[in-house]
Amino acid sequence: MSVSALAQTLKGSEIIKIGGEINELKKRGEKIANLTIGDFDPAIFPIPTGLKHGIIDAYHANHTNYPPADGVTVLRENISVFLKERYHLDYDINQILVAGGSRPLIYATYLALVDPGDKVVYPTPSWNNNHYCHLSGANGIPVPTSAENNFMPTADDLRPHLAGATLLALCSPLNPTGTMFTKGGLEEICDLVIEENKNRKPGEKPLYLLYDQIYSLLTFGDHQHFEPVNLRPEIKDYVIFIDGISKCFAATGVRVGWAFGPQEIIGKMRSILGHVGAWSPKAEQVATAKFLTQTVELNTYLHSFKNQLQRSLDALYQGIMQLKSEGFMVDSIEPMGAIYLTVKVDYTGKTTADGDLLKTSADVNFYLIKEAKVAFVPFSAFGSGSDMNWFRASVGGCSLADIQAMVPNVKAALEKLH
């Protein structure tokens, strides 16, 4: 049975492969500290009560028909107000598009802007840009980043690759690292985009910036989120933002995301998503519209949620750094934002007690799954090389107690390597 060239060349998800290994061990009755998935255990991180009740009320009110293609009006109106109050960004409802989470909005951005063969620049590690390039036929240009810059791309990293590019895809706080742009770092990148567009010839496609800020409300300590349009207002016509409730309210399954940007582009994205029916359910849209106006409850939830996440991230970070102080070849970058911790486990080239050589970061990860009952995701799943011994650890699916109990298991497993 033959399929399309696109289907034949799709790459499988390394995260799904890891998940399969975890599920097999769970079937045998083993308990695994699963730090792989960018999701939340609802028993540990439930959605806000007001949002949950609002969804139930909306179904009782029979909001079960098709929503408007761009999202229900009251939700887009309230998003507009939310953007002004939270981010000091001024976008009217015709510049806002609602969809079933952020994924279809990112894909629609690619399809609305990128022709087959167009150059798309993105940092590695980063989430799914390699797959979106493949799906859209783009010429993807991965730009490696380094731990020295917290795995955030710098202007110097990006500068050699922007000539002739159609899209620059960025995310902050970044999935998979949980790290963030500094103000100065993002300003320099914005200046590159502005300068590149000034140098484009009449009729030539501009360079657009896709800015995924789905984790923007989840920042910790003194770390602050910055937006390109606030830093450089003249870039506004070239920026498409991606946002929503999935991460900041632990509402991944509620499926309410939004994009905002230039009206013409947002309109084309609406048409694309309309043809595939990637709408957010109407009842969830109605409930989200109401919840965005419940400022006191929203702020109370967000404060508690962030504190809970930070306790888990800090516990994991401190545990890894304690192992480092004891001489183990591990490292980490302090929690900055999102639900992720960047962890280094530099044990490729080591041999297990059974005589197996750990050749790649994936080998190291599967060893930890089997021996320490701990699962991370290697950066190779996010476009980096298999020789990079850095991993994403997501705390959304584990309790604080699970995380605290996990570190001694990692230590014991690493002690067995030689």
Domain ranges for the chain? 5-45+299-415, 49-294
CATH class belonging to 49-294: alpha beta
- Quickly tell me which residue has 């792989």 as its tokens: 36
Do the beta carbons of residue 111 and residue 274 sit within 8 Å?
A: no
Do the beta carbons of residue 233 and residue 90 sit within 8 Å?
A: no
Do the beta carbons of residue 374 and residue 34 sit within 8 Å?
A: no
pLDDT confidence of residue 368: 96
15 alpha-carbon distance from chain centroid: 14
Chain segment 351-403, per-residue pLDDT in tens:
999 999 999 999 999 999 999 999 999 999 999 998 899 999 999 999 999 99
Burial of 182 (0-12, 13-18, 19+ CB in 10 A): middle
Chain segment 39-76, per-residue pLDDT in tens:
999 999 999 999 999 999 999 999 999 999 999 999 99
- Cis amide leading into 125 (omega within 30): yes
Chain segment 120-140, per-residue pLDDT in tens:
999 999 999 999 999 999 999
In this predicted structure, the answer to whether residue 304 has a pLDDT above a threshold of 80 is yes
Structurally, what CATH architecture does the domain formed by 5-45+299-415 represent? Alpha-Beta Complex (3.90)
Chain segment 81-92, per-residue pLDDT in tens:
999 999 999 999
Confidence band for 30, pLDDT divided at 50, 70 and 90: confident
Q: Share the mean pLDDT of the chain.
A: 96
pLDDT confidence of residue 1: 64
SS3 74: helix
Do the beta carbons of residue 177 and residue 136 sit within 8 Å?
A: no
d(CA 244, CA 251): 9
Do the beta carbons of residue 238 and residue 206 sit within 8 Å?
A: yes
**Would the pTM of this model clear 0.85, i.e. be above it?**
yes
Question: How far apart, in Å, do the first and last CA atoms of the chain sit?
Answer: 47
Question: What percent of the chain has a predicted confidence (pLDDT) above 90?
Answer: 93
d(CA 191, CA 194): 5
Confidence band for 344, pLDDT divided at 50, 70 and 90: very high
pLDDT confidence of residue 141: 98
Of 101, 97, 400, give the one whose Cα is nearest residue 274. 97
